[in-house]
Amino acid sequence: MSTDRLLATLLRYLQSAPHQQDTRRLIGTAASLLTSLNNPLNITLLTSQLLSAPALWPYPNALTSSLTFMTLFHSATIKCHERDIAHDDNQQSQASLRPHVESHLPLHDWIQAVLKGADQHSPPDHHLLAIAGLIVGLATRDHELMSTNVAYTLRSAFVKAVNLALSETSAADDFAHGNICLALNHAFIHLSDIDRSTVDYDRLLPVLMTSTFHSPHGLRSGYFLGAADADLKQISDHQFNWPSDSPSYQQIESILKSPLISSLGPLSRLIAHTIDHVKDAWLVQSAVEDLSDFSKRLGTQWRQNKLSEIDASEETIFLHEQAQKKTVPTLWKLLRSTLFAIVIILRSASGRVVGNAALAAHGNAPHVAQAILHSLRNLSFVFSRMGNVSFSQYTFTYLTSIDILANYPDHSATFLESITPSELGHIPHHPFERDLDLFFLNTAEHFALVLSSRLNEDLLLAAASPYLITAGNPKLLPIFEAAHSVTLSVFSAPQNVDLTTRHLPFYVDALFQVFPHNLSARQFRLAFKNLIRVVSPPSRIAIAQPMLAATLLDLVHERAIHAPDVPLPPSHVPISTAPELESASKSAVPDLSEKAVLILTLIDAFPCLSLALLEEWLPLTATATQMVTDSAMREFCKKHFWEVLVGGEMDPERSQICVRWWTSRGGRESLLYGDGSSDDGYFMSGGLGEQEKVMAKL
């Protein structure tokens, strides 16, 4: 069949009643004709018919057809570009490797003909798909072409089509909005900064948010979690299954395969860029509140889902093999992608609050910060599933929101009261509630300085107290350590002197009860060092209780003398047993005993001690170091002793005391040799070695 006859036949079919099974065949025929026609008028006619054809556009099957349509123009552009190159090579060599084409339509003219086909007979969102396909095809084949005149024409036409589609599309047209998002998500990276500056971001942001999080083409407002709960089947007394042929699982698979969610990473960065450039500051607040509502809905549905009752470590017991290996991992893949996308968007929103006076005016800043923190809290069940491994975008968003909110004490108090643990004073049995408790403790730690003493006691200490005295549970170690951090932050706040005096004995007792079985060596050392700092000059507690620091040191020293000298289990002594050793390799840090950890704890406290206590505890700690029977542990304690003395933590006055003790008061011999035997060791700068001492006597 000739090209003209094939074109006429295709045009007739495009205007006929739609048949879903014919769509693929029509698209294939159109792709062939687009690259074989040499008459620009025919190309324009075909493009116009494709953009408005009843046979291609009436189907509501999400954006799959739109992606196929965009791919049609993407592939055609690549083929025309290759034909252009081959034609130029033939002209230069005067010898063609294939039959010579009598007529040839240059790529620039072909693109112009396609653009003319984006006319008034079809809606602007259809134009976007065609132009996006041209741009991506051109950039994919040869990125240098994006700086040519033809690329400039394409980019300008694309931005005009974007703004036209945003202004003319009905607010209820989800399909058109999905087309706008799809086209922008693929082509935006290829636009220049000048092109991007002309996009109407104020109209674009609501479209992106709705299409991504609420439309049938996106995350569907998070309701897929509720549907999943309905399909869970109990197959035995203690085991559940989520079949892969259930409607809820099929829905989650379809969401993951949808054109928007399958590229959720780039799409979230597009939304973040849009937030950075909207002019109306209210739109930023609206987007953040929308995400807060979405995450709350997601968290609520997860709490009501039977899967939330199963701890990650217990899934092999309570879940069928199919659920363990297929359906549940697919669900977590979707939830993790959602978490990353939301964090990327909130990161830009928090940056706008910091750098935009309009958002800070009229009390908007604390409301935005609270909404961001509420979103992160509601998604904490996803974050905890990742093992609480932080990433830079999350850390920036989280800490920036806390810093913003901390400038408003009243709002800070209101926020903490709104997220107070539901079972205050008790450890909840539900894993989801424990995740919320962990978020509360990690967050409340940063607000101890701005809260009143009453709230510090009624909220922070009350929430932390049950985790301080509970028997060991390795699964809950992060939340136990968070409880200790909260308690120490409360004790460190200057307005809490009376509060600290009342609660300190209880905390010290709890600290010694839980170590080493329910508290890591690192956390114990940090906790004790902070305690010593709290009760040492110039704090007000040191004035009211001058002997408190000495008493705490005596408690640690007495326990160290009688502590076991066998290595602790690895889970209780992480490789980085102290902040100064974070970069040490595993081979450089021996397995430490409880005795060694307690002695290291005494050494850690040196920079915080008063001058009199430092002078008293240098020899006592050196003597205690010699009580460590294992040579590797003992040498590690000696090395840490030396690092604290010369590592820069000491101020000049304390350094002078250390120098006097080391050089003229037997400190070197006491630490290195103990029993008077000679051995190689560490030397203060300028100290004499054994050979130099002998020479000096001679």
Look up residue 101 and give its DSSP letter. Answer: P
CA pair distance 375, 415, nearest whole angstrom:
13
- Give me the mean pLDDT over the 455-484 stretch: 83
pLDDT at 62: 63
pLDDT at 696: 40
Tokens of 316: 């092999």
Length of the chain: 698
Residue 522 has pLDDT above 90, yes or no: no
pLDDT at 266: 96
CA pair distance 566, 593, nearest whole angstrom:
5
C-alpha neighbours within 13 Å on the C-beta side of residue 647: 14
Residue 400 has pLDDT above 60, yes or no: yes
Single-letter amino acid code for the residue at 19:
H
* pTM given for the model: 0.85
Residue 345 has pLDDT above 90, yes or no: yes
Tens of pLDDT, residues 221-237:
999 988 888 899 888 87
Tokens of 609: 């001690």
CA pair distance 445, 451, nearest whole angstrom:
11
Q: Mean pLDDT across the chain, nearest whole number?
A: 86
Most confidently modeled of 132-141, 463-472, 656-665? 656-665
Look up residue 516 and give its DSSP letter. Answer: T
Tens of pLDDT, residues 145-198:
666 788 888 999 999 999 999 999 998 889 999 999 999 999 999 999 999 999
Tens of pLDDT, residues 242-272:
999 999 999 999 999 999 999 999 999 999 9
- Judged on CB neighbours under 10 Å (0-12, 13-18, 19+), 129 is buried
Residue 25 has pLDDT above 70, yes or no: yes
Domain boundaries, the chain: 3-87+105-199, 515-568+591-673
What angle do the packed helices 64-93 and 124-141 form, to 10 degrees? 40
- Judged on CB neighbours under 10 Å (0-12, 13-18, 19+), 562 is exposed
- Under 8 Å between Cβ of 16 and 55: yes
- Judged on CB neighbours under 10 Å (0-12, 13-18, 19+), 512 is middle
Residue 587 has pLDDT above 50, yes or no: no
- Give me the mean pLDDT over the 43-57 stretch: 88
Tokens of 565: 């000298």
Q: Using alpha carbons, list the distances in angstroms from residue 318 to 215, 226, 387.
A: 34, 20, 20
Q: Where are the alpha helices (H) located in 520-547, listed in sequence order?
A: 521-535, 540-544
Q: Which 3-state string (H, E, C) describes 297-324?
A: HHHHHHHHCHHHHCCHHHHHHHECHHHH
Report the percent of the chain where pLDDT is more than 90.
Answer: 57
CB atoms within 10 A of CB 473: 13
What angle do the packed helices 431-444 and 409-418 form, to 10 degrees? 170
3-state secondary structure of 546: coil
- Judged on CB neighbours under 10 Å (0-12, 13-18, 19+), 68 is middle
